[in-house]
Each structure stands twice: as C-alpha cells, then as structure tokens.
Amino acid sequence: MKNVHIISVWVENKAGVLSKVSGLFASRGYNILSLSVGETEDPEVSRMTIVVEGDDKIIEQVKKQLNKLIDTIKVIDFTKKSCINKELCYVKLNMKTKEKSDIIMTSQIFGAKIVDIGKKTITIEIVDTDKRVNEFLKLVSDFGIIEIARSGIVAIAEDEK
Amino acid sequence: MLLNGAQIVIECLKKESVDTIFGYPGGSVITLFDALFSEKDIRVIVPRHEQGGGHEADGYARSTGKVGVVVATSGPGATNLVTAIATAYMDSIPLVAITGQVRTNLIGTDAFQEADITGITYPITKHNYLVKDVKKLARTIKEAFYIASHGRPGPVLIDIPSNVFNEKTEFEYPETIKLRSYNPTYQGNPKQIEKAVKMIKESKRPVILAGGGVIASGASDELREFVKRTGIPVTTTLMGLGAIRHDDPLYLGWPGMHGTVYANYTLMESDLIVCIGARFDDRVTGKTDEFAKKARIIHIDIDPSSIGKIIDTDLPVVGDAKNVLAELNKHFNEKLDLETWINQIDSWKKNYPLKYKDDNITIKPQYVVEVVNELTKGINTIFTTEVGQNQMWAAQFLKLERPRQFLTSGGLGTMGFGFPAGIGAQVANPDATVIVFAGDGSLQMNIQEMATVKNYNLPLKVIILNNSYLGMVRQWQELFYDKRYSGVCLSRDITCPKECKGKECKKYWPDFVKVAEAYGLKGYRITNKKDVERILREAIIENKEAAIIDVIISKEENVMPMVPAGHPINNIIERY
Ligand SMILES: Cc1ncc(C[n+]2csc(CCOP(=O)(O)OP(=O)(O)O)c2C)c(N)n1
Ligand SMILES: [Mg+2]
C-alpha cells in the first residue's frame, strides 16, 4: 500500500549536499512530492523536510539510503510520530471586480492573507497543512488561477504532553 | 612546517601507509606530479589510460585489502575514471581517487578541461569532496581514507583545484577522526545474535550464502569455523569466491545464473538462509518473487540498506561479518543434525555436477582452466577475469583456496577490468603468479595497458580465451534470439556476407601475438589441444616474464548451466 510520509533529514550544511539528496531520489526512482531545506539552530546543520510516497518497503529503503549518505546526521519519519506541519503557498488570481468580495471572504474563512492587489490580479498567502492548502486552491480555482508557488512542507515533532 | 597542497597530499598518503599510486598527469595535477618526482617512498605507476589506472588501483586494493589510490587530471582525465570508480562502487572496493580540477576562480565557467566530476560521481562514490581551501586538505584526505575503508568499503573521490596544490599552509595530520554523521555498526546486537542462534538450531534445511562482505571484513576464517562447527552447507557468491576452499565437502560452489545446479536447488529448497555480506543481486536470486520461498532469512550485513532491499528478511543483524560470525561461533559446540538434508544435497551434487563436453578436435575453455589448475598447484596465484563467458568459466572451474585470490567485476560486469586489475594485483604482489583470464573482446577495452606491463617489467600472464566473439552476448542470441548474431562477431568486416556462414573468417584478428610483440612482450598462440599443457607450462611456469597467450577456443561453446534472466533459479537450462 502506498502512503505519503513526511521525513525530516538533518545534514551537514555543506555545498553539494542538497544535490546528493535530491540525486539519490532521482537515481533510485523514489517518488518525491516535495522537498524543502533551511538552516537549523546549529549553523553547520541544515534540515530538510521531504515528502515522499511509497509502500512500506520503499519508504524503508528511502530512509536507509538517506542514512547511508555520509553527510546525513539523522533521519526521522513523522508518519508514526505526531508532528506539526505546514506549507506556505502563494496563489495569484484573476480579479474581476464583482468577484473581489467573494475572494476576500473565502480567504478569510481559510485564514489566508491578501498580500498584493494589482490592476488585474490579487495574490493570497496561505500557511496551512497541504490538505487545507489543496482545499483552498480548489475553491479559488473558479476565480481563475494565474500562478501558484508552494514551499513544500516543513515539519517539527510535537512534544509529549 | 609550511607545505604546499601537493606536498600535503603526499605527506597524507604516507601517513596512510600508501606505497604505490596509479596516476596519469595533466595540467591540473602537474604540481602534484612535480612533488612526486623527488618522492622516494611512494611508487607512481603510470597507466596508458586513466580507466586502466583506476582498475589497477582497484586490483591493488582487492588483492591486498588496502586502499587503492588513483590520480587523474581534470576534465577528460577525471571522466576517464568514471567506469573504474563505478566498478569499485558496485563491488564495495576501497579506493581513493584524486582528481585535479580547474583553478578555484574558474570553477563553473566552462573553463578549459573543466568537468564537474563531483557532480558526475555522486551516484557512484561512497562520498566525494571538492577541496577549495588548502587548510582543509589534510583533514579531507584523512576522512576520505577513513570512509573508503570503514564500514562497507567503497570509492571516495577528492577533487582538488590546481591552485590548491600550490597554496601553502601548516601541515597537520589528524591522528584520529570522528564523524558525527558516519558511525558504522560493527558489533551485532546480542539479542539479534541470540535469535539467529535459535533460528539456526531450529532449522532442518539451512544453507549459508556468503558474499563479498566476508572477504572485505576478513572473515573467511570465522566463516570456515562456522561451517565446521555447525555442519551447514555453504555457497558463496561470485564476490565471495575463495572465502571457502573449493574442496570443502560442505561447499556448494556459487549460485545464480551460471552457478551450480546444486547451489541453486539447495537455496530453493532450504528452510533457512544465513546470508552474510551478500546482497541478493538479481544474478543470484533470479526471479525474486519465487526465490527460496520456503526459507526464513537471516541477513548479516554492515550496510543496513542492503538488508530487506530485495528479499524480505526475517532477522536482520547489522554488523561486521567477522565480529558477528565470531559471536555466532561461540554458540555452536556441536554440529546440527542435518543428515537427511546433506544426503539430499550430496545426491544433487552427484547427479548435477559442473561439467562440459570435452573433445579432441577443439580446445574447450573449461579444459584450459583445468590445465591451469594443474600447472599452478602449490604456487601462490592470483586470478583475475575479464567479463563474459571467460569470467564464468574461470569462476566455475578454478580451484580457489583463499580469499583475495580471485578478482572479478561482479556488480558492474565491466569489460576491460580484468587486465588492468591483474596489473594492480601484480604490482601489489610481486612474488605471486598473477593470471588474467581474458576474453578477446574485453582485452581490447584496455589493451594499451600492455605498455604498463612492459614498462614496469611485470611478470603478468594473460590467457585469452579467444572465441572471436563477444561470446556471452552471442550465447544469449543463440538461446533467446534465434541465433541472430547481431554485432557480436569480432572478426566480421564489410566483406562478409549478410548471412554469416562462418566459413572464411578473418584469422587472428587482431593478431594478439603481434600486438604483444609490438609492446615488447612475449606472445604465444595455442591452436591445438595437444599443445595446451606444454605451451601454458612454458609461458606461465618456465617463462619468468610477462606472457600474452592467445588460446583459440571452440567458438560456440556455451556457459552451462544457465538460468534465463528473470526466471526462478531452479529453472535451469543444461545443454552440453
Ligand atoms: C564495458 C562493457 N560493454 C559491454 C558489455 C556487455 N557484454 C557482456 S559480456 C560481453 C562479451 C564479452 O566478450 P569477450 O570479452 O570476448 O568474452 P567472452 O564472452 O567471449 O568470453 C559483452 C559485450 C559489458 N559487460 N561491459
Ligand atoms: Mg570472446
């Protein structure tokens, strides 16, 4: 059975590491849905969040292969642990005057922000789970989407309560 | 002391006890070669092609267990190493490749002889580095040797821009190294080992499948002890050949596509496979869904990613084969009761031995291998092979006695490997009789290395099993493509009729004897069966110099037995 997994990977913050990781997915034929990367509390370490789809056997291999990279420090699969995860998405819509208030209302319902209004377009920023982002995009697609930019998911473990 | 980058490289190599490097010069490594010029403790072997140099370093490593070192210049020099690096990667051979790079300020500008060799080799190295700062050079080299030789071994590439070889810094070599991101597990988890003992003791039809990991970890003695203590029959993969003596009564030869029938039957009928340092390559398992369905699997490997990759594992044991086997051995003080199972296996052995149909008209390649066995009895020998039928016949019929005695490109199947690998082995083992089994096709992939043999006065012996064909491919075409011999005849030229009748073939093309002589080497040709023993004795035993021996073998001999690709391994073709 195919499942979607959110995997966090801590790697040495060095040139070339990102391409080693992404190259690994390409050369082993793993299905990567999103990848985001940034610095951590330790400037020598970067953290990647990789969303990958596959059956248990593939995911097991993905994790092992990631671990096998010499620059990998730690790999965590959030699927079995609870985590907080969000994605940032910008969507630029066609704006016809009569639809303006509909767009604003839909955005408000989703807690999305209007970040830019131009002559013909309106740009909305939404930060939410990818499921909610998808729902939002589906709703606003009626207004005519011109452009979408998504960051990919970032995730962090939820602490024990 | 202030040293420049080139001197630092050399000092680091000395700290790593490197006595020989294989290196080809060029613009970006000229400073390094300059420093090597006055260096007394490191021998530089200059190949005639960087690929040859790479395989030579690999043969050096395989035959000794030490890290092989190869040097090449930027751009084409570096890309010429790619096949050799990939070959070492697939077979987990410790190699350090040092490549020159264009000056730091030119990187990324498509400068003359620039190639992104770290980018190119990501998927075929265990790790690689681009060192832009001379201050980081010593530490990087230390890391590279550590990574190449620890855990599952593999090739590591260090790319060094030419200006870094010239820049000076204080030389300091770290004595020890600790990498937060690389800590292989050497000791098997005691709980897992306990479970393994239990599974082994419960089994009725166990078999050991030992691979190259046993050789890499130096665990042959422990493996032999394990076999002796438990009485479990053992098969070794192509990469594991030599880990068990050929004449051990419990030895089954090697399994898979051209393995013994009895190794394949034993695996398929077993109820437990103890896999040690092998990775269930598709040439071993055949159709994976149908592989050994009745068997539980214990998989012992230092690389966790090998475990469960192809075949589902019932019990993983991550650790170094030597340690894990030593631990296991403590738990076995009497042999398991396997009488019925062993009887069954013995009857397979009796009914389906490795064999071939000899005759007195042609020279059968298997016969040549058998003669070599006889001639080299009691002599310290190392064998290497090229790829194809020659490789399979050598692997099937050689009587191997020890690990690191048989060097072959298993994972990548690289034609052009065997000859330079033999050179590397001969350089590392000057007193051994090193014999290369070559195909006429493969030898031509690195034939220029005859110059290296001559220049360094190496007494290497090359036996060409010459069938005028890319024989292994021809065999597939014969068996599965209706004998349509497309692109495999090595003597075919534009004057040949479209439909080959196999009659007026060009003889001795190329004339390997003349090629040998052109390089100043002794060439021999054997065309009659009755001369095989005499001429081989003369060339290999009596003659103390190098010899290129062109043996004209039965052209359409096939490697048997054979499991067609993608079939279960008990689906065996036997046609003699
Ligand atoms: C570099 C490379 N190219 C192509 C192949 C495919 N291949 C495998 S075996 C073989 C034939 C080898 O011919 P030869 O060296 O004469 O050996 P023989 O099988 O005749 O003993 C070929 C072409 C390969 N393994 N390696
Ligand atoms: Mg041939």
Q: Domain containing B226 — which CATH number?
A: 3.40.50.1220
Interface test with B, best of A45, A47, A68, A72 (most B CBs within 10 A): A68
Interface test with A, best of B305, B312, B313 (most A CBs within 10 A): B305
Residues B28 and B114 in one domain: yes
Neighbouring residues of B536: CB distance < 8 A, sequence distance ≥ 6: B368, B371, B372, B375, B463, B526, B549
Which of A99-113, B266-280, B394-408, B558-572 is predicted least confidently?
A99-113
Q: What is the pLDDT of residues B119-142, one digit of tens each?
A: 999 999 999 999 999 999 999 999
Residues in chain B: 576
Q: What is the mean pLDDT of chain B?
A: 97
Domain end: B297, B323, B351, which one?
B351
Segments forming the whole domain that contains residue B442:
365-552
Percentage of chain B lying above the pLDDT 70 cut: 100
**Beta-strand pair B296-301/B315-318:** parallel
Residues B92 and B159 in one domain: yes
pLDDT higher than threshold 80 for residue A80: no
Complex ipTM value: 0.91
Residue B563 lies in a domain: no
**Interface contact B147-A70, CB threshold 8 A:** yes
pLDDT higher than threshold 80 for residue B502: no
Residues B163 and B201 in one domain: no
Exposure of B576 by Cβ count < 10 A (0-12 exposed, 13-18 middle, 19+ buried)? exposed
Tell me the nearest-neighbour CA distance from A54 into chain B, angstroms. Answer: 14
Compute, in angstroms, the gap from residue B419 CA to the centroid of ligand 1: 14
DSSP assignment letter at B526: E
pLDDT higher than threshold 90 for residue B449: yes
With a 6 A CB cut-off, is B315 part of the ligand 1 pocket?
no
Give yes or no for B180 touching A (CB within 8 A).
yes
Q: What is the pLDDT of residues B55-100, one digit of tens each?
A: 999 999 999 999 999 999 999 999 999 999 999 999 999 999 999 9
Q: Would you identify the CATH topology of the domain A2-81?
A: Alpha-Beta Plaits (3.30.70)
Residue B498 pLDDT level (bands cut at 50, 70, 90)? confident
Give yes or no for A68 touching B (CB within 8 A).
yes
Contacts of A21 in chain B (CB under 8 A): none
Count of the separate structural domains present in chain B = 3
Residues B342 and B370 in one domain: no
Give yes or no for B181 touching A (CB within 8 A).
yes
Residue B571 lies in a domain: no
Residues B419 and B525 in one domain: yes
Which ligand has the nearest atom to the CA of B82?
Answer: 1
Using CA atoms, how far apart are residues A70 and B446, in angstroms rounded to an integer? Answer: 33
Which ligand has the nearest atom to the CA of B441?
Answer: 1
pLDDT higher than threshold 70 for residue B552: yes
Tell me the nearest-neighbour CA distance from A155 into chain B, angstroms. Answer: 22
Domain end: B170, B200, B231, which one?
B170
In chain A, where are the structural domains located? Answer: 2-81, 84-157
Q: Are the C-beta atoms of residues B521 and B546 closer than 8 Å to each other?
A: yes
In this predicted model, which residue has the larger pLDDT, A160 or B143? B143
Using CA atoms, how far apart are residues B391 and B518, in angstroms rounded to an integer? Answer: 27
CATH code of the region A84-157 = 3.30.70.1150
pLDDT at B503: 67
Interface test with A, best of B182, B280, B299, B318 (most A CBs within 10 A): B182
pLDDT higher than threshold 90 for residue B1: no
Pair of tokens at residue B308 = 């469960």
Residues B547 and B483 in one domain: yes
pLDDT higher than threshold 90 for residue B314: yes
With a 6 A CB cut-off, is B436 part of the ligand 1 pocket?
no
Residues B395 and B524 in one domain: yes
**Among protein residues, the one whose CA lies closest to atom 1 of ligand 1:** B415
Same fold: A2-81 with A84-157: yes
Longest CA–CA separation in chain A, Å:
57
Q: What is the mean pLDDT of residues B512-534?
A: 98
Centroid of chain to Cα B161:
31
Which ligand has the nearest atom to the CA of B488?
Answer: 1
Residue B13 pLDDT level (bands cut at 50, 70, 90)? very high
Residues B149 and B287 in one domain: no
pLDDT higher than threshold 70 for residue B145: yes
Residues B153 and B23 in one domain: yes
Contacts of A70 in chain B (CB under 8 A): 126-127, 147, 179, 181-182
Contacts within 8 Å (CB) and 24+ apart, A95-103: A95/A120, A95/A121, A95/A122, A95/A143, A96/A143, A99/A143, A102/A143, A103/A140, A103/A143
Residue B491 lies in a domain: yes
pLDDT higher than threshold 90 for residue A99: no
Which of B154-163, B329-338, B481-490, B497-506 is predicted least confidently?
B497-506
Q: What is the mean pLDDT of residues B216-223?
A: 98
Q: What is the pLDDT of residues B370-397, one digit of tens each?
A: 999 999 999 999 999 999 999 999 999 9
Q: Which residue of A has its CA nearest to B118?
A: A16
Contacts of B124 in chain A (CB under 8 A): none
Name residues 408-447 of chain B within 8 A of A (Cβ).
Answer: none
Q: What is the pLDDT of residues A7-50, one digit of tens each?
A: 999 999 998 999 999 999 998 999 899 999 999 999 999 999 99
Q: In angstroms, how far is the first alpha carbon of chain A from the final one?
A: 31
The torsion angles phi and psi of B75, rounded to 5 degrees, stand at 60, -120
pLDDT at A82: 86
Q: What is the mean pLDDT of residues B415-420?
A: 98
Percentage of chain B lying above the pLDDT 90 cut: 97
Atom of ligand 1 nearest to the CA of B413: 25
Q: What is the mean pLDDT of residues B219-247?
A: 98
If DSSP codes are grouped into helix, strand and coil, which group holds residue B550? strand
Q: Which residue of B has its CA nearest to A20?
A: B122
Percentage of chain A lying above the pLDDT 70 cut: 100
pLDDT higher than threshold 90 for residue A97: no
